[in-house]
Amino acid sequence: MNPEAYSEERHAMVESQIRARGITNPRLLEVMSSVPRHCFIPKELESNAYEDRPLNIGSHQTISQPYMVAVMTDVLDPQPGDRVLEIGTGSGYQEAILAALADEVVTVERHEELAEQAASRFDELGFSNIRVVVGDGTTGVPEYAPYDRILVTAASPHIPAPLMEQLKTPGRLLCPVGSREAQRLVVLDRTPDGRIEERESVGCVFVPLVGREGWSEDIE
């Protein structure tokens, strides 16, 4: 693993795929220019790491398109001092981006092999503020709740109720909601007085969120 490799490709990705599409958050752009995406994918796909598309990482899972990672992170708007819950660890790339922007990240992955690989990458790259949990992400991680921000990176038929219960007041939750084939990114804000405000952001296509509060196991 060489985090310093592909620096030109990484900066080109940020300029052409992210900044050019209207994302201007300077903290986010800086982080995406520094986190080595190629370290979060299988070695045989390393040369494709900075292309404008998702990539397979095994276990029927993918690493999201860089632009989608940027959009979701920009909308989530994690701040220094925040505790973030992320559902669907996958390769660990999204968690690394969040960890560079927030104080602490708790992430859940139901595939033990992917969770172990991601945890190893975090250790090797020096991300000491990420806690990896193996389990059903649809039920969250109540022992570390509440969370300032919650991000779901898999498609759900609805917002899982346990995640709403673990969201701080005020707080923000993002989740792709829709059918197995296509979703909209739903943004839920819990206001300081406890009200829930809901809106839709961009269209998206994610792998299914499997678990007690999501899709059943037999959809894969």
Residues that are catalytic: 64
Is 210:220 a contact under the CB 8 Å cutoff?
yes
Q: Which of 76, 45, 87, 58 is closest to 209 using CA atoms? A: 87
3-state helix, strand, coil in the chain (%, to 5): 35, 30, 35
How far, in whole angstroms, is CA 124 from its chain's centroid? Answer: 20
Which residues sit opposite 208 in a β-bridge?
155
Residue written as token pair 């839709």: 200
Q: 3-state class of 146 per DSSP? A: coil
Is 209:152 a contact under the CB 8 Å cutoff?
yes
Q: Is the dihedral of CA 196, 89, 91, 210 positive or negative?
A: negative
Q: Which of 139, 114, 141 is closest to 214 using CA atoms? A: 139
* 148 φ, ψ (degrees, to nearest 5): -70, -35
Which residues sit opposite 71 in a β-bridge?
none
Strands (E), 88-154: 104-109, 130-134, 147-152
